[in-house]
Chain A
């Protein structure tokens, strides 16, 4: 298994540009999520999905869109990039998502995004 993969590893955008961060997992995990990591802020949840066709907002969803057309893929779209979106983005997945879950959440290697 490749686990959780993310592309690209690095990206530089100009303000107003759009782009999609890719995330894929080959573990047949139901639950996938996107976090952003900023210095001194820890990780903050952007969006998450509990299965194909089902997504919901996390703590900091503004400026980001997601979709989940397949179990494997969970892309994150920046519609109009802003300097405040400069961050490291991590995708994560786990097998289940319910309240009694004891599954581990696995993280991808991250995408470092700079918006000028």
Chain B
């Protein structure tokens, strides 16, 4: 069964700092990859997704992620975070939308 690993569950950083969240998946076949964000008290929203093509994917709110097939990774980055980026971030992998596997999430706190 596919699985997704996210490291450094809690991340605290100051505004304007750069953010990188790691995501590794285990799945042998073609896989679709997603990053979702959950702001405090809200539901999950899609940040970005990768299905094929350019391995560098740009999403909303200045986020981007890079798919590295050889490393089974799909790391999320943002060059300069804002206080409003305080949220929990989830990486997910699956074949199509059927039976997405989610990572355990990264709780990110941005200090003004």
Contact = CB atoms under 8 A, between A and B. Distances in A.
A45 B100 contact: yes
Contacts of A100: 96
A44 B46 contact: no
Nearest to A43: B102
Interface in A1-60: 31, 35, 40-45, 48, 50, 58
Give chain A's interface secondary structure class: loop
A102 B98 contact: no
A94 interface: yes
Give chain B's interface secondary structure class: strand
Interface string B65-103: 000000000000000000000000010100111111111
Interface residues of B, number: 26
Contacts of B32: 101-102
Contact of B97 (A40, A44, A58, A103): A103
A97 B96 CA distance: 6
Contact of B98 (A40, A97, A104, A109): A97
B99 A48 contact: yes
Interface size class of chain A, counting residues whose CB lies under 8 Å from the partner chain = 20 to 34
A96 interface: yes
Given A107-B44, A109-B42, A99 B104 contact: no
B99 to A, nearest CB: 6
Interface in B22-63: 32, 34, 36, 42-46, 49, 51
A-B residue pairs, 8 tightest by C-beta: A101-B96, A43-B102, A42-B102, A42-B104, A107-B44, A94-B97, A99-B96, A107-B43
Interface of B: 4, 6, 9, 32, 34, 36, 42-46, 49, 51, 90, 92, 95-105
Interface of A: 31, 35, 40-45, 48, 50, 58, 90, 92, 94, 96-105, 107-110
Given A42-B102, A43-B44, A105-B46, 4 more contacts: A101-B98, A102-B32, A107-B36, A107-B43
16 contacts: A31-B98, A40-B105, A41-B104, A42-B102, A44-B102, A48-B98, A50-B98, A90-B43, A94-B97, A96-B97, A97-B98, A101-B32, A103-B97, A105-B46, A107-B45, A109-B42
